[in-house]
Amino acid sequence: MSCSILLSSSPPSRSSDAGRRPVPARAYVGLGANLGDREATLGQAIELLAERPGIEVVAVSSFRETDPVGYLDQPRFLNAAVALDTSLAPQALLGTLLEIERELGRVREGPRYGPRTVDLDLLLMDGLVLDEPGLELPHPRVHERAFALEPLAELDPELVVPGRGTVRQLLLRLQSSP
């Protein structure tokens, strides 16, 4: 499946409200789904992101079929990534992602890494390194997951995962390991 979109936009408005950053940040979000109409669900997730205050969707990778990781007895996933410009602080952006997941029917039951209607993961944000309750940046497993790195490489192969290297380097390491 190929669905590549590049949107040009102006940066989000600056605000001093709680949960907002004074200067727009570039964030990368991984999207995945393996239940229901996966393509429609990912499209709805992107639309809902674009509608939220303080978020501008600036690029969307193509959608790709991937095998499940961790819990293998489930349907294949459809994965993608989006680049966002946002005035939201990291915790506020994560809250927005979780809210959109709930709106699209995500229920956090069953096995870890199990089937899901939608999964929105905050992967990277402006080179930040954070370790806060409920939020780690960069995403703690982004460097070992091709299903996250491939769409990121499509958006920006020279994007740096802090402490790990560029997306291109990480993907090459994964592809060359047994």
Quote the pLDDT of residue 116: 85
178 or 159, higher pLDDT: 159
The predicted model scores a pTM of 0.86
Quote the pLDDT of residue 42: 98
**Domain residue spans in the chain?**
5-140
Round to whole Å and give the CA distance between 17 and 50. 19
Contact, 150 vs 159, CB < 8 A? no
87 or 14, higher pLDDT: 87
Lowest mean pLDDT among 21-25, 80-84, 121-125: 21-25
Lowest mean pLDDT among 7-16, 18-27, 79-88, 102-111: 7-16
pLDDT band at 8 (very low <50, low <70, confident <90, very high): very low
CATH architecture of residue range(s) 5-140:
2-Layer Sandwich (3.30)
Round to whole Å and give the CA distance between 64 and 80. 7
Quote the pLDDT of residue 20: 66
pLDDT at 5 over 80: no
Cα distances from 59 to residues 7, 33, 56, in angstroms, run 5, 19, 9
Round to whole Å and give the CA distance between 137 and 128. 6
| Neighbour-count burial for 106-115, b at 16+ CB within 10 Å, e otherwise | beeeeeeeeb
Residue type, 52: R
**Catalytic residue ranges:** 106, 116, 119, 121
